[in-house]
């Protein structure tokens, strides 16, 4: 939460945000323990956390002005990496998943090397091209990836004592919490200040001693780590990976839309965006207009750019009087 100048004047609103956070966390931890048949609910929340994780990972480089249009690249590297490690090397998912996430992190370093010095839309385009190149390779390297058929029979998470759904649920929740924790830590660390400085003006940041290339490298590596983790977890949840889904343009679109919609300047903004948009789509929108999720996501992005430049969380914070209108979070 931002340190608002007028926070002291409105303690009830601040407390309300805090209690909403604590209540939400308690509910999230206890959800699988509640009685009753709730397979579908657990599945929905698992996917919400997964997209929240992807959106949080997208948000870190975005705060330095690196708007990725190709986050599917990280997701796909994680998904294929973990699936191949379990299928070809018979490694346990507990080893395969972090290894694949590290692989995606290494790809983040590569992306920083290729595109790190590009600014604005040029960086975005380079990431889009990289995701597309990986998709074409995954489609055609049939000896390794089985081509368009994809890899099937990826093992689930071996978490004895819990049902498969609950295991997936806690794994997704844990990884989302880890991503938020890392983001919170980075925000307080000098790295967070450097990221902000770069967004506000790279030349000025560099003039005051910020090593912009190094900061961007780190941001993309951390982002790749969590996005790759999301991809790997997705592979183990669905037991299957194919090029069209692992490197789909949708996976590049969703984190961007969710993070901007929730409020990219806030620690929990991307996760809130994922919660509202994913659940809104699954529970409400799909029933009104099946298959019309692009209407929702397209409309959400346009709304944010034109009317809510700081996302719904930013709008709420200003409305609640925690931060004066026009100041930056």
Distance CA 197, CA 195 (A): 5
- 295 touches other proteins by CB under 8 A: yes
Identify residues 195-234 at the interface with other proteins (CB under 8 A): none
CB-CB neighbours of 104 under 10 Å = 31
DSSP summary character for residue 89: S
H or E element at residue 240: strand 240-241
Contact characters 301-320, other proteins, x per CB under 8 A: xx--xx--x-----------
Q: How far is CA 283 from the centre of its chain?
A: 21
Residue of the chain from 249, 279, 316, 320 that contacts other proteins (CB under 8 A): 249
- 260 touches other proteins by CB under 8 A: yes
- Report the residue number, 168 or 202, with the smaller CB distance to other proteins: 202
The helix, strand and coil proportions of the chain, stated in percent and rounded to the nearest 5, come to 75, 0, 25
Residue of the chain from 2, 24, 65, 280 that contacts other proteins (CB under 8 A): 65
Q: How many residues bind other proteins (CB under 8 A)?
A: 40
Residue of the chain from 11, 21, 299, 324 that contacts other proteins (CB under 8 A): 299
- Report the residue number, 33 or 307, with the smaller CB distance to other proteins: 307
Query: Least distance from C-beta 277 to other proteins, angstroms?
Result: 12
- Using DSSP, state whether 151 is helix, strand or coil: strand
Buried b (16+ CB within 10 A) or exposed e, 23-61: eeeeebeebbeeeeeeeeebebbbbbbbbbbbbbbbbbb
Residue of the chain from 253, 279, 316, 320 that contacts other proteins (CB under 8 A): 253
Contact characters 131-150, other proteins, x per CB under 8 A: -xx--x--xx----------
Stretch that binds other proteins, among 118-126, 234-242, 273-281, 315-323 (CB under 8 A): 118-126
**Bridge partners for 152 per DSSP:** 240
- 244 touches other proteins by CB under 8 A: no
Distance CA 294, CA 265 (A): 24
φ/ψ of residue 263, rounded to 5: 125, 95
- Report the residue number, 94 or 295, with the smaller CB distance to other proteins: 295
Category of 76 on φ-ψ map: left (φ > 0), alpha (ψ -120 to 50) or beta: alpha
Query: Least distance from C-beta 65 to other proteins, angstroms?
Result: 7
Residues that bind other proteins (CB under 8 A): 65, 67, 69, 114-115, 117-122, 124-126, 128-130, 132-133, 136, 139-140, 249, 253, 256-257, 260, 291-292, 294-295, 297-302, 305-306, 309
């Amino acid at each position: 939460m931002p340190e608002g100048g007028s926070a002291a004047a409105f303690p009830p609103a601040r407390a309300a945000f805090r209690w909403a956070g604590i209540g939400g966390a308690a509910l999230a931890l206890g959800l699988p323990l509640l009685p009753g048949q709730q397979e579908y609910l657990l599945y929905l929340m698992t996917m919400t956390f997964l997209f929240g994780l992807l959106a949080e990972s997208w948000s870190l480089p975005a705060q330095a002005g690196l708007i990725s249009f190709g986050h599917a690249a990280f997701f796909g590297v994680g998904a294929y990496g973990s699936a191949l490690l379990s299928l070809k090397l018979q490694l346990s998912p507990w080893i395969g998943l972090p290894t694949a996430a590290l692989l995606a992190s290494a790809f983040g370093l590569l992306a920083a090397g290729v595109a790190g010095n590009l600014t604005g839309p040029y960086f975005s385009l380079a990431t889009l091209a990289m995701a597309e190149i990986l998709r074409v390779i995954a489609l055609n390297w049939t000896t390794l990836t089985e081509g368009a058929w994809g890899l099937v029979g990826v093992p689930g998470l071996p978490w004895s004592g819990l049902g498969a759904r609950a295991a997936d649920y806690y794994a997704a929740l844990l990884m989302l919490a880890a991503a938020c924790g890392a983001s919170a830590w980075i925000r307080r660390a000098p790295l967070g200040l450097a990221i902000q400085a770069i967004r506000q003006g790279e030349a000025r940041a560099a003039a005051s001693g910020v090593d912009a290339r190094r900061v961007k490298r780190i941001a993309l590596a951390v982002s790749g780590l969590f996005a790759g983790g999301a991809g790997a977890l997705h592979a183990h949840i669905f037991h299957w990976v194919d090029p069209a889904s692992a490197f789909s343009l949708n996976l590049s679109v969703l984190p961007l839309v969710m993070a901007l919609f929730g409020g990219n300047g806030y620690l929990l903004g991307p996760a809130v965006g994922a919660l509202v948009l994913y659940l809104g789509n699954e529970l409400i929108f799909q029933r009104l207009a099946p298959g019309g999720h692009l209407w929702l996501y397209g409309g959400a992005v346009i709304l944010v750019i034109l009317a809510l430049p700081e996302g719904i969380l930013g709008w709420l914070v200003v409305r609640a009087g925690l931060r004066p209108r026009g100041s930056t979070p």
